[in-house]
Structure 1
Amino acid sequence: MSLQDKIRYFEFTHTGQVRDHNEDAVYGDLDLGLVLLADGMGGYNAGEVAAELAIKTVTDMVRAGVERETRSDIDETSGLMRQSIVLRNAVIRANKIIWQTAQTQPQCRGMGTTMVACLFHDDRVSIAHVGDSRVYRLRKNRFEQLTLDHSLMQELVDRGYFSQQEAMRSANRNYVTRALGVEPAVEVEIQEDTVKKDDIYMLCSDGLSDMVEEEDIHLTLSTFSANLKTGGDQLIQLANTNGGRDNISVCLAQVIESFAESHGIVSRLRGWFS
């Protein structure tokens, strides 16, 4: 089911004010309901290679998986929707390909990438992430971070050593504990969320979240919710005005209509009890 007329989508990426090239990658395919963002790292241009490999591999794997299984059944072993399983397996596959490329191509040694991915389906979204790129949701006037960074600083916050405000000011906040391609295997964090009309999902690299306070992001998205292209441009501008110390990437997906599947599990349950 194409979501071209169900979701309004915009993507933005900028080199920033300090880096000499952009190692971020963004991608959206509303025919698949897929939105991806990757923040590459390691060696000149190698981070860009890792990010592009992640985007291509996950897109290809999700496309193949969705074509094989279009129903929104729940996987009995994990309790996850099958689309979530497809997405998680796609990210795991991307890790393997990036790792193998880094081992066999000297110019790519040490490369890796963070990734966040959203797969929209049946009035739901499956979210996969590895690293410190993030997914936020604006619902009505509530702005909420849906992912937790895989970073040393986040682990210290979780253990009570630092507050979130102290973590934002730390020079070590960008030390990630998980990324694609740096180890032969990776644990992909997966979650599911029910979407509602007018929800705005924002995927971003740390080039935005490190440079712009959450309340300023919230205010910008709320102000420009009817014109997300302008809102995204404003976010990039804010990050650059505040220093632009890293590449800056943002994906914005706004739900404008329901995309419930008639053969989804909720519909079938309703049928059984009607």
Structure 2
Amino acid sequence: MLTANRSDIGRVRHVNEDQSWVSQLNNGITIAIVADGMGGHQAGDVASQKAVDAFRSMLEQSAAKADLSLQEGKMLIRQAISQANEAVFEMASRNERYHNMGTTIVAALVKQDNAIIGHVGDSRAYKIKEGVITQITNDHTLVNELVKSGQLSAEEAAHHPRRNVLTRAVGTDSQVEIEVQSVEWSPEDVLLLCSDGLSNLVSEQQMLQTVTTEQLELEAKADHLIQLALHAGGDDNITVVLLQEAGSTNRGE
């Protein structure tokens, strides 16, 4: 598996509250996570780091078994995000400075012919396959709820002043509802995980063009996506993770 993991503070923020991590286990499974923290007084970066650490410590051990089934993979992603929720919530409960801090999470566990995606919040996963980009995750935001109920159009939602208001996040409550799904995965596919610092400023068409260009290696594609967000204003932290099988044809060699 080829992987690229890039993050930038952006042009406006003083702290990067995004955290990401990618690992390839000995059994051929690749795990990735992007977390976008929130909370005053730099609590956001504490929340996202705490969440990624908790997620990582559980999955590095438990996902390393030789014959991990699809159901086990889904259960592990759910448990790891739940563990991250407990870790952040407990820390916020103990320390007044971190009161109400939380984080989004989008995570992937990629094995052979399946990618298992778990998420809470509005950090996103996209799959690029045969020249088509598909958003896999469903934003847990107030505005998206209004779109789904027909009260807002997608165009209105994109520019709505409250589009960043989350309906759920990791660490703000003792329990959180976690969305877990699996998608088919083949060697030519590319998985893109990102914080909303990318998806709010870079269109799906721009993402698709960047990922499918044959002139760039995978890491350069991730760098280019960050640059597109910066050129578009860079008003938030920007994090991008790209995953692609090493044997793929459009690697740009």
Q: TM-score, normalised by structure 1?
A: 0.86
RMSD: 1.5
SS of corresponding position for 2:165: coil
Rg: which structure is higher?
1
- Counterpart CA distance in 2 for 1:147 and 1:138 is 13
Residues 43 and 98, structure 2, Cα contact 8 Å, conserved in 1: yes
User: Amino acid of the residue matched to residue 179 of structure 1?
Assistant: A
> Which residue of the other structure, out of 4, 12, 17, is the alignment partner of 2:6?
12
Aligned partner of 2:251 in structure 1 is none
Deviations 1:23-58 (A, max 9, x none): 000110012510010000002221111111111111
Residues 127 and 192, structure 1, Cα contact 8 Å, conserved in 2: yes
- Shift in Å at residue 73 of structure 1? 3.5
Q: Aligned residues: percent identity? A: 36
Change (3 A) 1:184 1:234: same
- Counterpart CA distance in 2 for 1:73 and 1:19 is 41
Note the 1:1-274 alignment, pairs <5 A. Answer: 7-31=1-25, 32-67=29-64, 69-73=65-69, 81-224=71-214, 226-257=216-247
- Counterpart CA distance in 2 for 1:102 and 1:70 is 36
Residues 112 and 185, structure 2, Cα contact 8 Å, conserved in 1: no
- Counterpart CA distance in 2 for 1:63 and 1:216 is 33
Deviations 1:69-125 (A, max 9, x none): 543346xxxxxx111101101101110110010010122112100000001123211
- Counterpart CA distance in 2 for 1:146 and 1:28 is 19
User: Amino acid of the residue matched to residue 184 of structure 2?
Assistant: T
Change (3 A) 1:225 1:134: farther
User: Amino acid of the residue matched to residue 115 of structure 1?
Assistant: I
- Shift in Å at residue 257 of structure 1? 4.4
- Counterpart CA distance in 2 for 1:232 and 1:176 is 26
Q: Answer with 111-120 or 208-217: which moved more.
A: 208-217
User: Amino acid of the residue matched to residue 94 of structure 1?
Assistant: A
- List structure 1 runs of 4+ shifted beyond 4 angstroms: none
Q: How many residues align?
A: 245
Residues 225 and 231, structure 1, Cα contact 8 Å, conserved in 2: no
Residues 126 and 136, structure 2, Cα contact 8 Å, conserved in 1: yes
- Shift in Å at residue 225 of structure 1? 7.4
User: Amino acid of the residue matched to residue 33 of structure 1?
Assistant: T
Unpaired segments of 5 or more residues in structure 1?
1-6, 75-80, 259-274
SS of corresponding position for 1:12: strand
Q: TM-score, normalised by structure 2?
A: 0.92
- Counterpart CA distance in 2 for 1:139 and 1:204 is 17
Q: Answer with 164-173 or 12-21: which moved more.
A: 164-173
